[in-house]
Amino acid sequence: MTQKTIAPKALPPAPTPSPQLRPASFRTRADRWADPTFNVFAIGLLLTAIVAIIYPMYFIVIASVSEPSEILNGNVWLLPSGFTLDGYARVFSDPTIMRGFANSVLYTVIGTAISVATILCGAYALSRKDLYGRTPLMFIFILTMFIDGGLIARYLVVRDLGMLDSLWAVVLPGAVGVWNLIIARAFFENNVPGELRDAAQMDGANDLRFFFSVVLPLSKPLIFLMIMIHLVATWNAFFDALIFLDSEEKYPLQLVLRNVLIQSEVSSAGGTGSLDSYAAAQRLGELIKYGMIVVSTIPLLIVLPFMQKHFTKGALLGAVKS
Question: Could you tell me the CATH number of the domain that includes residue 294?
Answer: 1.10.3720.10
Clarify whether residues 61 and 172 are in a common domain.
Answer: no
Residue 206 in any domain: the answer is yes
- Domain membership flag for residue 56: yes
Q: How many domains does the structure of the chain reveal?
A: 2
Residues 247 and 287 in one domain: yes
Residues 6+ apart with CB under 8 A from 254: 100, 104, 236, 237, 238, 241, 296
Closest by Cα among 314, 165, 312, 316 to 249: 165
| Structural domain includes residue 176 | yes
Q: How many Cα atoms sit within 13 Å of 224 on the Cβ side? A: 19
Task: Judge contact between 100 and 259, C-beta under 8 A.
Answer: no
Together in a domain, 180 and 38: no
Which CA distances in Å does 186 have to 32, 67, 278, 308, 316? 35, 51, 56, 21, 11
pLDDT (0 to 100) of residue 322:
41
Whether residue 180 contacts residue 229, with contact meaning beta carbons closer than 8 Å, is answered with: yes
Q: Provide the whole-model pTM.
A: 0.74
> What gap in Å lies between CA 252 and CA 148, rounded to an integer?
25
- Compute the distance between CA of residue 141 and CA of residue 236 in angstroms, rounded to an integer: 24
State which residues form the domain around 216: 94-317
Q: Are 190 and 43 in the same domain? A: no
Task: Tell me, yes or no, whether 12 lies in a domain.
Answer: no
Judged by phi (left if over 0) then psi (alpha if -120 to 50, else beta), residue 14 lies in beta
The answer to the question of residue 259 being in a domain is: yes
Alpha-carbon distance of 260 to 252, in angstroms, equals 12
Query: CB–CB of 314/100 below 8 Å?
Result: no
Residues of the chain with pLDDT under 70: 1-34, 264-278, 281, 308-322
- Do 73 and 136 share a domain, yes or no? no
Amino acid in the structure at residue 85? L
Q: Residues 135, 236: one domain?
A: yes
Q: What are the contacts of 133-139 at 24+ separation with CB within 8 A? A: 138/185
Residues 102 and 182 in one domain: yes
Q: Are 288 and 90 in contact (CB under 8 A)?
A: yes
Maximal CA-CA distance, the chain: 128
Residue 17 is assigned to a structural domain of this protein = no
64 and 118 part of one domain: no
Give CA–CA dist 292/250, Å, rounded: 19
CA–CA gap between residue 66 and residue 63 (Å, rounded) = 5
Same domain, 146 and 240: yes
The secondary structure element, H or E, covering residue 227 is helix 220-236
The answer to whether residues 68 and 103 belong to one domain is no
Do 59 and 132 sit in the same domain of this protein?
no
What is the rounded distance in angstroms from the CA atom of residue 249 to the CA atom of residue 103? Answer: 9
Domain identity same for 101 and 178: yes
Q: How far apart are CA 268 and CA 185, in angstroms?
A: 53
Asked if residue 146 is part of any domain, the answer here is yes
Residue 14, domain member (yes or no) = no
CA distances from 64 to 21, 124, 287, 294 (A): 54, 46, 6, 8
